[in-house]
Structure 1
Amino acid sequence: MGQTAHVSADAWTSVVTVVSALSLAAWLWLLLARGFFWRTNVRLPAQEEPDAWPSVCVVVPARDEAAMLPASLPSLLAQDYPGRAEVFLIDDGSTDGTGELACELGRRQGGLPLIVASPGEPPAGWTGKLWAVRHGVDLARRREPEYLLLTDADIAHAPDSLRRLVAAARTGRFDVVSQMARLRVASVWERLVVPAFVYFFAQLYPFRWIGKDRADTNGGAGRTGTAAAAGGCVLLRTEAAERARVPDSIRHAVIDDVALARAVKGGGGRIWLGLADRVHSVRPYPCLRDLWRMVSRSAYAQLRHSPLLLAGTAVGLALVYLVPPVAVLVGATTGSTTAAVLGATSWLVMAGTYVPMLRYYRQPVWLAPLLPFTAFLYLLMTVDSAVQHYRGRGAAWKGRTYARPDAVPDEG
């Protein structure tokens, strides 16, 4: 009996050792071959001010954002932009007086012209946000702007934000220049979850790969085809939007920013995405429940509502993030030096790649070893996203629930 138990323990230790070796191999690949996703120095590219500044229309979809507007809308109206610019705030069926407050802020603030409008309820096949964006873009096109700035109602911009975005787009000849707004990090849960959210996003969509053109064969097909944007701040050339039929071509997309980037890049456009220094979110996520809702509402949509992709994601997260601490624990309790060293090395590489993001968010580096715990939370959020989807409550946001894309009618 005792000998059988000893053999079982040895077999378990051997399995953990092999799996921890796979985890370390995965981390070495992520460290060196995933576009250096962990570096945070991808910031707004080089800018030269043009001789003649192009016209820009700013489109802000807003649904029940009265609490956010006082901290965000005035920053748009106060933009120091040398060219012609207007702001279109599209009230997406708000019940908290968002539209009225926006008008009041516009009268009080002054600055750029503000137009507040409402498109009514979205038709079948459209998400509310994209229906509001379409209405705003239709209004903006009457001014014939060269660029559209799509930004959310909870995003505040430094006074020179629009100026720098346009200069970067003109200098680099980009059709899309998008910045990942710096999210709020104040509560305990925000400190644990928010930097990891951006870290995971960059791991999934390495910023350096996004900026590569499809014609650039040096990066390989997978790299040049990588496309993503951050919906809080997207400067979009109007001609590229028309060529890609945005937003109509992505009307049912829950993850609309990535869909927009894919549509533009798929049509031959050039896109750029990086971290922001002077664009930030004013939305608080004080409780885990708030962060959970933010992630779970779109996590399963990110996996294209595929049970197979969900299973693969769960296995991948476990292998990469959960195996290292488990291997250290098993090695310490069984005396397996190999398992402990492999697990500790993987954990060290993991923590090391997370440190730059913590520094970007001005957080203490001792949070880095806690990344496996945060990854476990994200795994639970993703599973919950799938559960809510099959219960008919997937992609629920502000009173609306959206069907999976292949369940909506095609409007041609």
Structure 2
Amino acid sequence: MAAALPRLAAAEGSGTQGRRAAPDRGRTLLGPALALVHTGQAPTRSVLTGALEVTRATAGAVSAELEALGLITVDSSPAGGGRGRPSHRLSIDPSGPVVTAAQLHADGISVALAGLGGQLEPPVHLPLPAATDPVRLLRAVAEAGAALARASSRRCLGAALALPNPVTEPDGTALAALHFSWPSGTPVADLYAEEVRKADHGPRALSPFPSAVANDANLAALAEHRHGAGRGARHVLLVTSGHRGVGGALVIDGRLHTGSAGLALEVGHLTVDPQGRRCLCGNQGCLNSETDPEALFAAAGRTPDSARPLLAQARELAADPSALPAVHHVVDRLGLGLAGLVNILNPDRIVLSGLHLDLLAAAPERLASVVAERCLWGRSGRVPIVPAEVTHAGLVGAAELAWAPYLHDPQSVLPVGGA
């Protein structure tokens, strides 16, 4: 899983008045510096200097090297226009390298090229292939990403995939891939790596070509924490419902909490109505089966159009005034689930995504009231419940995963033996 943003140790003074001198021309600071620009925390060289606790000269050398690597641009024209020495603006290079980000849904595939800074090129949405066994489905994903890479003038550095099921760490096996009926323990990371290796990403692609897979809710939470509604919070709980089912993730001090084997926060299997609808896992009344798009249609007594994406239809239904009783039914169960999670996790912010974002918009006071009344601390301990901000957060999160090795070591963007 992608690492947290680096936190530098206390600076060592030695004629620098508490600021860190530049070891080996500041190369050990390249990763932390790139992470700060990547997340928008260092828009100028002056801010970068303070954030890294280094001298102005060191910050200049670090930003110049990142620019030479083709990762950022340094604009020497004055930034701001206030008094004092103007600072150089730092931005992600719009012509810099990209990665391929992909997401598997219960009823389709999404894929996009992604630069640094959470910047996606327009995603491509494809139907599932006729055969959804692991090898053929992962091959379709890899080939879709490779086609985008070949058509781009930007160099491709890696690939990552967001999956709608638990993924173990560090071996990368898929458990309970219920949407596709894959065998439990399918070695999805290895299979995807093999299909990515065989796909043609163009003559400028990095070799060897790294790949990674992770749970889609975990990756969406990472995207929201770095680029969206979770910025600035220490403990962010994300709960989302996509095309089917419910996912959850927790970011603590910038790090995803994935448990001992990558399986934490499977919130979809939290029981909120023992007499409720049957879940794919075999239990009844799971958050999965009580608050996803199919649950909303069932509560409204309506049948979705099989020719249209289910999530899009559910969002329309959530905004339909005539469906308000059904919205309230689903919101009440979502509130029960959120309250249980708040009692256990004590987050300082809840971010809702997917259909849950629309349910929040349709009944914000009702949802907040149910959560507050069921929380141990009552209304005095109300946790802010906010809508997600990142469009295509699963893809943006997959991009974070693919960019992780380069945020750790920006010089690894160079070909082996390259300069």
**Higher normalized contact order (CA 8 Å, seq sep 6+, divided by chain length):** 1
Q: Same fold (TM over 0.5)?
A: no
TM-score by length of 2: 0.26
User: Going by fraction, where is helix more abundant, 1 or 2?
Assistant: 1
TM-score by length of 1: 0.26
